[in-house]
């Protein structure tokens, strides 16, 4: 039944492409522009460099001196701390990608990988400062204040999953594959870099495909929507984060309502980011902890903003 629904959905999109090429082309162009102008410049270099660092096998050595800190305050191994740091700095879906890669590389356990999905997958500070705060909200709210609000919600999610869901047991011992480790050590820097570049382009192309698909879905819903355009935004804004935030910024709503909606959508990430996260996990880690944490994160953001009188 599920397969039939998906096939029917694909056929509907195909008919939209065939019978409304102008509207479809506009949607695809928007998605392609987002991929080329934002995702590739900001994410691809990190994918290549983190992939190369991962293949050298030195991540544990780099963060081992601070292992006690990460274990005590975050319930993470040194390798898990690496995922958290880059996940927070690089934004969606870097945290999920690194959690998957380190789990496959046997540097973190499955439990720790899924635990990381609950608080290391967020919008990057650069995205919040330049796009959300600067371009859309015109710096009416301090970007630092917004980042601290997101971090507070992440902290709440981390504590909830660490002590309520996982009962304080988030790090399992892992057996490092000695054959794989020796292979990495024998590879030259050039070979490691070549493989990392190809892996980076494969990942960024896959993520771009999801952006194009969701941009097409957004265009088709907007075209066929029979009611007021403002009500359409309730269904289209959560589809893709960047486009959804732009729709909210241009909506005829009070400024506080637009700010609250923008913060909620940014914390949730949107369904396109969720599909991208599912893609980079490759069925190795469960998407369920991520999905639950995003809903919990958005709820925490709502409570923080409402009860702190920010909105």
| Domain-embedded: residue 36 | yes
Phi-psi region of 290 (alpha: psi -120 to 50; beta: other; left: phi over 0): alpha
Cα Rg of the chain (Å, integer): 20
| Domain-embedded: residue 114 | yes
| Domain-embedded: residue 3 | no
Per run of 10 residues, the mean pLDDT along the chain (length 311 residues) is 82 88 88 86 86 77 85 92 90 91 91 94 89 86 92 95 90 61 60 88 90 90 80 86 88 89 94 93 92 96 86 61
| Domain-embedded: residue 300 | yes
Please check whether residue 171 is in contact with residue 77, taking contact to mean a CB–CB distance below 8 angstroms.
yes
Closest Cα to residue 209, out of 119, 272, 281, 270? Answer: 272
Q: How many Å apart are CA 101 and CA 195, to the nearest integer?
A: 14
| Domain-embedded: residue 5 | no
| Domain-embedded: residue 16 | no
C-alpha triplet 260, 138, 214: angle, nearest 5°? 60
Alpha helices, DSSP H, located in 35-169: 40-56, 59-63, 67-74, 78-90, 94-104, 110-116, 125-126, 143-159
Closest Cα to residue 51, out of 102, 108, 92? Answer: 102
pLDDT of residue 114: 95
C-alpha triplet 76, 101, 111: angle, nearest 5°? 40
Closest Cα to residue 105, out of 116, 93, 97? Answer: 97
Domain residue limits at 291: 24-307
pLDDT of residue 63: 80
Rounded to two decimals, the pTM is 0.88
Please check whether residue 151 is in contact with residue 297, taking contact to mean a CB–CB distance below 8 angstroms.
no
pLDDT of residue 176: 56
Closest Cα to residue 267, out of 122, 75, 107, 78? Answer: 122
User: Residue 232 CB: number of other CB atoms within 10 A?
Assistant: 18
Burial of 36 from C-beta contacts in 10 A (0-12 / 13-18 / 19+): exposed
Q: How many Å apart are CA 117 and CA 158, to the nearest integer?
A: 10
| Domain-embedded: residue 154 | yes
The domain tally of the chain equals 1
Q: How many Å apart are CA 237 and CA 244, to the nearest integer?
A: 4
| Domain-embedded: residue 169 | yes
Determine if the peptide bond prior to 139 is cis (ω within 30°).
Answer: no
CB-based burial, 96-108: b 16+ in 10 Å, e otherwise: bbbbbbbbebebb
Question: Distance between terminal CA atoms of the chain?
Answer: 44
Q: How many Å apart are CA 143 and CA 145, to the nearest integer?
A: 5
Q: How many Å apart are CA 265 and CA 301, to the nearest integer?
A: 10
């Amino acid at each position: 039944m599920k397969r039939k629904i998906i096939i029917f959905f694909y056929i509907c999109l195909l008919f939209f492409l065939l019978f409304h090429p102008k509207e479809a082309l506009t949607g695809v162009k928007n998605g392609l522009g987002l991929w080329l102008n934002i995702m590739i410049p900001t994410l691809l270099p990190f994918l290549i460099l983190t992939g190369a660092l991962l293949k050298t096998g030195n991540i544990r050595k780099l963060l081992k001196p601070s292992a006690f800190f990460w274990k005590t305050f975050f319930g993470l191994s040194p390798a898990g701390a690496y995922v958290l740091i880059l996940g927070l700095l690089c934004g969606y879906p870097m945290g999920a990608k690194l959690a998957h890669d380190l789990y496959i590389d046997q540097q973190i356990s499955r439990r720790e990988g899924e635990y990381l999905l609950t608080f290391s997958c967020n919008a990057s500070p650069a995205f919040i400062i330049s796009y959300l705060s600067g371009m859309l909200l015109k710096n009416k709210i301090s970007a630092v204040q917004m980042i601290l609000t997101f971090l507070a919600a992440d902290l709440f999610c981390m504590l909830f999953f660490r002590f309520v869901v996982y009962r304080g047991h988030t790090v399992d011992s892992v057996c490092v594959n000695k054959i794989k480790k020796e292979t990495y050590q024998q590879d030259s820097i050039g070979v490691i870099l070549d493989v990392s570049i190809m892996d980076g382009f494969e990942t960024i192309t896959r993520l771009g495909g999801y952006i194009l698909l969701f941009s097409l879905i957004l265009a088709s819903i907007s075209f066929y929507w029979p009611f007021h355009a403002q009500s359409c935004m309730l269904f289209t804004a959560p589809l893709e984060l960047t486009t959804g935030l732009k729709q909210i910024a241009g909506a005829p709503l009070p400024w506080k309502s637009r700010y609250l909606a923008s913060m909620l959508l940014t914390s949730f990430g949107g369904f396109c980011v969720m599909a991208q996260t599912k893609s980079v996990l490759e069925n190795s880690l469960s998407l369920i902890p991520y999905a639950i944490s995003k809903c919990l994160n958005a709820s925490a953001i709502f409570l923080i903003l409402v009860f702190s009188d920010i909105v």
